[in-house]
Chains A and B, each alone.
Chain A
Amino acid sequence: MPDIRLEGLTKEFKEMVAVDHIDLTIEEGEFFSLLGPSGCGKTTTLRMIGGFEDPTEGHIYLGGSEVTGLPPYKRNVNTVFQSYALFPHLNVHDNVAYGLKRKKVAGDEIKSRVHEMLDIVDLPGYEQRRINQLSGGQQQRVALARALVNRPALLLLDEPLGALDLKLRKTMQLELKRIQGDVGITFVYVTHDQEEAMTMSNRIAVMNAGHFEQVGAPQDVYELPATEFVSGFLGASNLLEGEIESVNGPTAKVALELGATVALPADRLPTRQGRIGIGVRPEKIHIQDASAADASSRANAIEAMVRMSTYTGVSTSYECRTSDGSPVVVYVQNLGSSSVSIGAGTRVRLSWDPEHTFAVKRVAKAEDDGDKTATAMEGART
């Protein structure tokens, strides 16, 4: 049963469209992430689901009934705010009990439910603490407990880990996933951190400029990005320009601008003909000295020159340039004896499987500033 359904949801502010006719269905019990750069409309979408913003157009359904236009206090939805928004004049117990008191739950039950919820978020015995005595991570847990104790149909989380340091954030990511499993409530999670979204979610919607670029499971979105934006936003990716040469049954061939021809499954093509972008993730590329190329080479191959190699411990990254100047990044895991570092200036053969090739629609972009930097983008991270 769908837990939440958005239909043509739109929010216009004075001079801009923050959210542009989005449609979405989230199933019960899902951990769903809205991922995108700041200003892409993900928080506005969340605030509309929570009832803090009224949509300009469109409908919101929760558990089958329409809630569009209902104020927040009439929706069976709770929110964990980015700033936590804990009540500073109340102690931990009274913060967590706030929602239950509004529902006129009996005193004894409030006490036991608060107690139980503090156990779940790993803050047992913290009832009498004041909010300003808690660390950021503890406040985060209280905010989570305060929302979950109401047993909402849906929990909205607005970048809840944004204020925590990296180590604590990693711990809380796993904690959140565990808690979601324990309580079985649908989570809708807003983040601009692609790694966080991939670690935690069942499904991700990558959002850009008010619309969804792609919706899917983390591995689908990562392995088969549908657009150039998605390929650049989630992790590093290499994009090469080419033109569709032929579609032959399940296999398509694309002639790259730099000369070589590569194959990929035909169903990944966004169009049947014309110019497209061919992509491959840096860790999928096999690199070897051009003069020593042997049978370990994969089907799709191009020639390039190593510009720089960087040893990062677990892997080595090679920054290469193809003959037409496109940069290609390659990650090679350091497996030990076999990995001999390839120095700068070496001519190399870069090859990968057709299986690992994806295609995105060519978006017209400002041509060459002499240095095609846009093709190898590091996903936006903070």
Chain B
Amino acid sequence: MATTTERIARREPIDATAPPQKPRKRRKEWLLPAYTGLVIAYLFVPIAIMILFGFNNPAGRYNFQWEGFTLKWYNPTTLLEYEDLNDALINSLTVAIVSTLIATALGTLIALALTRHRFRGRSSLNLGLFLPMASPEVVLGVSLLALFVSINVPLGLVTIIIAHIMFSISFVVVTVKARTSGFDHNLEDAAGDLGADPWTAFWTVTFPLIFPGILAAGLLVFALSIDDYVITSFNAGGATTIPLWVYGASRIGVPPQVNVMGTLLFSLGLLYVIVSLWRGRKAEALAPPVGKG
């Protein structure tokens, strides 16, 4: 005669001594997957709508109602129909790339300093780094505008880039620090011991090992930069980026081209994730078997 626990384990019906256990267990079994499904839907439905309306063939100016399927927005000539939208895209990419590169370099150096050295002001710097992340963007935007105006810096792409670097650095430091704080400094000692001067030791040992953290930080701040609206709007002057253009256009109707550009940027990100997952799997599969003990 099997015990109750064994029966539950085998999913056998349980006799009258313990009737409430069965339905509760059932409910648990579908509750978690259903909840997970809903959260995923919540996250992805907006993106799916954006992609879907990139294939819409709207009758009028407003791209809010499904009228029929078309691929015409993916035709380069139609896609690049609005010259000011193209300029905005180029501006956005320029700002994102330049600010990402500079912020990642600066932030990585700060992260290294914070994990490697104990110096006066270290803990206040740690705290100070969270301020740009915690401050409302509108405050940062206004403050920067006031600063630029008071020291007579003409507003434009340069001021946008400066602003983006400023709010990106904190994110880089926090992300890279997660990687550097687990870093075994004996490895740098070992490199030095084997004849590498500090510069060589950094590029051959430290950098390759913390690179995943740097890459993650770079991708994060690229994403933050390319869609920033609030801070950019205060410091753009005459320059336009994609978010500024879309906001302006939304009053007269956002053209499907915006959906297509959004879809393309999203696909790039997706492609990166897939490739990195695939490479990880391949490295695991290719690794020769573990040898004798």
Which residues of A pack against B, CB within 8 Å?
50-52, 71-73, 77-79, 81, 83, 85-89, 98-99, 102-103, 126, 128-130, 133-135, 137-138, 146-147, 150
- Closest chain A CB from B196 CB (angstroms): 5
A79 touching B287, Cβ below 8 Å: no
Query: Residue-by-residue, is B189-200 near A (CB-CB < 8 Å gives 1, otherwise 0)?
Result: 111111111001
- In the complex formed, the residue of B with least CB distance to A133 is B290
B192 touching A71, Cβ below 8 Å: yes
Q: In the bound complex, how far is the Cα of B136 from the Cα of A61, in angstroms?
A: 60
The answer to whether B186 has its CB under 8 Å from any CB of chain A is: yes
Contact with B194, one of A89, A133, A135, A150 (Cβ below 8 angstroms): A150
- Closest chain A CB from B215 CB (angstroms): 14
Q: In the bound complex, how far is the Cα of B221 from the Cα of A132, in angstroms?
A: 32
Interface residues of B in 246-293 (CB under 8 A from A): 287-288, 290-291, 293
Known A52-B189, A89-B209; judge A99-B194 contact (CB<8 A): yes
- Chain B neighbourhood of A77, CB < 8 A: 193
Q: In the bound complex, how far is the Cα of B187 from the Cα of A52, in angstroms?
A: 12
Known A135-B293, A137-B293; judge A85-B195 contact (CB<8 A): no
- Chain A neighbourhood of B195, CB < 8 A: 73, 99, 102-103, 150
Closest 5 CB pairs of A and B: A99-B194, A102-B195, A85-B190, A85-B186, A72-B192
B184 touching A85, Cβ below 8 Å: yes
Q: In the bound complex, how far is the Cα of B191 from the Cα of A158, in angstroms?
A: 16
- Closest chain B CB from A148 CB (angstroms): 11
Which residues of B pack against A, CB within 8 Å?
184, 186-187, 189-197, 200, 204-205, 208-209, 287-288, 290-291, 293
Q: In the bound complex, how far is the Cα of B234 from the Cα of A28, in angstroms?
A: 72
- In the complex formed, the residue of B with least CB distance to A97 is B194
- Chain A neighbourhood of B194, CB < 8 A: 73, 78, 98-99, 102, 146-147, 150
- In the complex formed, the residue of A with least CB distance to B207 is A89
- What 6 new A-B contacts, CB under 8 Å, besides A102-B195, A130-B287, A146-B194? A77-B193, A79-B189, A83-B186, A87-B205, A102-B196, A128-B288
What does DSSP make chain B's interface, helix, strand, loop or mixed?
Answer: helix
A79 touching B190, Cβ below 8 Å: yes
- Closest chain A CB from B195 CB (angstroms): 4
- Closest chain A CB from B200 CB (angstroms): 7
- Closest chain A CB from B214 CB (angstroms): 14
Q: In the bound complex, how far is the Cα of B51 from the Cα of A230, in angstroms?
A: 78
- Chain A neighbourhood of B184, CB < 8 A: 83, 85
A133 touching B287, Cβ below 8 Å: yes
- Chain A neighbourhood of B204, CB < 8 A: 98
- In the complex formed, the residue of A with least CB distance to B205 is A87
Contact with A72, one of B193, B208, B290 (Cβ below 8 angstroms): B193
Q: In the bound complex, how far is the Cα of B193 from the Cα of A73, in angstroms?
A: 5
**Can you report 9 residue pairs joining A to B where beta carbons are below 8 Å apart?**
A52-B189, A72-B193, A77-B193, A79-B193, A81-B186, A81-B189, A85-B189, A87-B190, A133-B288
- In the complex formed, the residue of B with least CB distance to A136 is B293
Q: In the bound complex, how far is the Cα of B292 from the Cα of A138, in angstroms?
A: 9
- In the complex formed, the residue of A with least CB distance to B289 is A133
Q: In the bound complex, how far is the Cα of B187 from the Cα of A81, in angstroms?
A: 9
- In the complex formed, the residue of B with least CB distance to A137 is B293
Q: In the bound complex, how far is the Cα of B232 from the Cα of A34, in angstroms?
A: 63
B190 touching A88, Cβ below 8 Å: no
- Chain A neighbourhood of B191, CB < 8 A: 87, 98
- Closest chain A CB from B54 CB (angstroms): 41
A88 touching B186, Cβ below 8 Å: no
- Closest chain A CB from B236 CB (angstroms): 42
Q: In the bound complex, how far is the Cα of B23 from the Cα of A108, in angstroms?
A: 71
